[in-house]
A and B are shown apart, each in its own frame.
Chain A
Amino acid sequence: MKRILMFLPVLVAVAFGIFLYAGLGEDPQELESALIGKPVPAFELSALRNPDRILTPEVFRGQVSLLNVWGTWCPACRDEHDDLMWLAEDKNIPIIGLNYKDNRDAALRWLKDLGDPYQLNLFDPQGTLGFDLGVYGAPETYIIDKQGIVRYRHVGVVNPEVWEEKLEPVFRQYQEE
């Protein structure tokens, strides 16, 4: 009888493993950010295309925009890319990219090959801004209002359904303010 108890560790471990496996490659959806209602954390990052240009949270001022966290190492970002192009070209939505833990050359090549939906890109190879934002895993998309305040966070891929159901209502609401 006691022998059966000895199987407990292996059962717990298997359950835990299945759980971790489910987390692998899955995008955790809709994690509330502690930053909602607060300004974008202070940063000073170089622009992806122009290393000499230093960008600060000022880039968010004056327009409602999307902040999209991406990297060339992130397969889900590849899936998302076409929809970002659609948002930028057909819907004229301003998107600011946060190139996260990436390599500058690879990122530029990606934009050249796949098209560039971004107004501009912050280059964050260490993930410092990502850390301050509480980025959980790329891709993530934030709505930033005209005053540079974080209004919404979406974890995972943005596609037309996500845009219409979740992001667009919030986006339009702050655009009208």
Chain B
Amino acid sequence: MFPELGQVTLIIALLLSVLLAVVPLYGSLTNRDSLQAFARPLTAGQFVFIAIAFGILTRAFLIDDFSVAYVANQSNSLMPWYYKFSAVWGGHEGSLLLWILMLSGWTLAVATFSRRLPSVMVSQVLSVMGMVAVGFLLFILMTSNPFDRILPNVPADGADLNPLLQDFGLIIHPPMLYMGYVGFSVAFAFAIAALINGRLDAAWARWSRPWTSVAWGFLTIGIALGSWWAYYELGWGGWWFWDPVENASLLPWISGTALIHSLAVTEKRGVFKSWTVLLAILTFALSLLGAFLVRSGVITSVHSFASDPTRGAFLLGLLAVTVVVSLTLYAFRAPVVHTRATFGPLSREVFLPLNNVLLMAALLLVLVGTIFPLISDYFELGNISIGEPFFNLTFSPIAVAVGILLGVGIFSRWKKTDEGYLARKLIFPSIGSVVIAATVVLTMGTFDSPGFIGFLDDIQLWAFFGVLSASWVILATLQDLWTKSSSRHGRLHGLRRQSRSFYGMVLGHVGLAMVIAGATVVNNFGIERNVRMSPGDVAQVGDYQFSFASVGEREGPNFTALVARFDISRNGEPVATLYPERRRYVVQRNMMTEAGIDGGFLRDIFVAVAEPVDSNAWAVRLQYKPLVRWTWLGALVMAIGGFLAVSDRRYRIRDTATERKKASATPLPESRPAEAGV
């Protein structure tokens, strides 16, 4: 009874979404307030019915209702309740329902926090979000109904959730990621609404900014969680695989990062409007493209849901309609007249678009790398395979360049920056970062050929530039903070005077530097050994001794495990004892490797036991991974920066009257560097 009710609520939600997509928009175009007034109630109704559907599916999981096909495929009565709960979004149908729940949640949030916006804008934004909801609700109802029943032969028990996904990481990774993907629909809706009513101005950019930053923050956390999960759960010790699905989440992230910076220029200086609006459309389109790549089977990956061409075709259609309609609208409505350039060659208005150029290069690179199999097939280029080496080779220079440019850009000012001033500011970061990079490479690197030749060896050179770029960003940021916080009333007062969006920027940049530093150091100075070991054996990895002490067994809730014990010591001093496992899941009969990890701020020690090679010997993977945690911590710091920027006062004190005044007045007062937080 309940599952059928779930389907009915989804149909009602669809009807409400159709109304939301049409009525307020029509009202705004014909100036009928009575019709526009429907926007908020319809948004609320849509959210409520989708939430009920989600609740019903969750209930089916928690009470083990295996008559529902999706539950029978994803769950099992032996699973602990929290995995039953997260299994709701463990497969295609449920994750799609979660996606829609979040979309309606974001729509509701826009309806709630937009009381001060002009009603025309609100109606149009909500209508556009309603259109997106219509597309996804049709998708779920037509191709991926989570409430389908297996009748009359109801299975006695479920097939169990894929053991890889029975993990805390999975409970929160997809929701975070989807919050990001779906969140970009708000920036998209604002862009479309602005194109429809022609209000593409600084006020529009200001309204879009907080939504974009929040979505970006969630996406950042989502990607980092995915990477962390792959690191400890897949048992390989890698933290980024350039897997198509990872790339699919990286694409909107890069584009969203560009959007955040471009929105800043549009808000502060009223320029690059057309580019910003195009980025908003692109970012959302890339989120949809990500969904398409994962679910269509066009490209396979570890993450792929069982592929289904019908779903792929539907999603491609949805993507096509979204992109073609919005870009056609863009072609007709986006302003072509460029605001006359009133900024010098070293101004912030130049540095921020330069950052966008680099980010677009990175985006293109990842996109081409991801769909390269399709390209080579299409143009019959033949036997070229592309993978990790391609990405590492091409991505590193861009990441380094982004860091260097960022360090310079921090000191630039709106309109015009004095060259001498800029050069003076850069003295300290230049010297400091060269010293740090040289120190790190010389102490951590191993040189086959001694001295200068060894230093020039390719890998060491990239390690040097990576560390240089990261320390350059951090030193420049610190110096900027130091300069801006000088105050007659003392340093503390100076620090307190800075806005939250400025601190958001600082954290965003420091986080990025941490990611660059972590990635560079772990990729260049990490050590990995695959050895065959029996209990009693000792292996040396860098400075560390890994001693395989013993093997035992353990019973888990739905698995049995072989547990190895490893004593790790460094130059004779005990460091840690690790218990890597090989788990055998009872229902699905899968073997899973559970790595033993001793984590630390500066390094991780990683032990994974793979297949037995003999009756009492195993293939063992031993790793020393310096700074690996910085990649995730850095992402977290960035995301916190994004959230902090949103809490800035200026987003809360919003008065439509001043917004309008600001929008009509083109020459904005020159911002002092202190409030030029981006």
| Residues of A in contact with B (beta carbons under 8 Å apart) | 2-3, 5-7, 9-10, 13-14, 17, 19-26, 28-34, 42-46, 51-52, 54, 56, 71, 73-75, 101-105, 123, 125-128, 130-131, 134-138
Contacts and interface: CB of A to CB of B under 8 A. Distances in A.
Interface string B265-299: 00000000010001001000100000010001111
19 contacts: A10-B323, A10-B327, A10-B328, A13-B285, A13-B324, A17-B316, A23-B374, A23-B378, A30-B382, A32-B382, A32-B384, A42-B611, A46-B590, A56-B611, A74-B297, A101-B304, A126-B302, A131-B301, A134-B385
Given A24-B316, A125-B162, 9 more contacts: A6-B330, A10-B330, A22-B374, A26-B377, A28-B377, A29-B377, A34-B385, A74-B307, A123-B589
Given A6-B274, A13-B327, A127-B302, A24 B610 contact: no
Contact of B331 (A6, A45, A126): A6
Contacts of B403: none
Interface of B: 73, 159, 162-164, 274, 278, 281, 285, 292, 296-302, 304, 306-309, 312-313, 316, 319-320, 323-324, 327-328, 330-332, 334, 336, 371, 373-378, 382-385, 387, 588-591, 610-611, 619
A23 B312 CA distance: 11
A45 B44 CA distance: 49
B334 A6 contact: yes
A9 B323 CA distance: 9
A24 B313 contact: yes
A127 B374 CA distance: 21
Contact of B306 (A46, A101, A105): A101
Contacts, number: 133
A136 B385 CA distance: 11
A101 B162 CA distance: 10
B17 to A, nearest CB: 24
Given A9-B327, A10-B324, A24-B316, A19 B611 contact: no
Contacts of B162: 125-126
Contact of B589 (A21, A24, A46): A46
Nearest to A36: B383
B590 A17 contact: no
B164 A126 contact: yes
Nearest to B334: A6
B591 A54 contact: yes
Given A24-B296, A30-B383, A130-B300, A42 B619 contact: yes
A103 B328 contact: no
A30 B376 CA distance: 11
Contacts of B300: 127, 130, 135-138
B331 A9 contact: yes
B313 A7 contact: no
Contacts of B591: 44-46, 54
Nearest to B619: A42
A104 B324 CA distance: 41
Contacts of B313: 24
A9 B278 contact: yes
A135 to B, nearest CB: 6
A29 to B, nearest CB: 7
Contacts of A104: 159, 588
A52 B585 CA distance: 11
Most buried by B among A32, A52, A126: A126
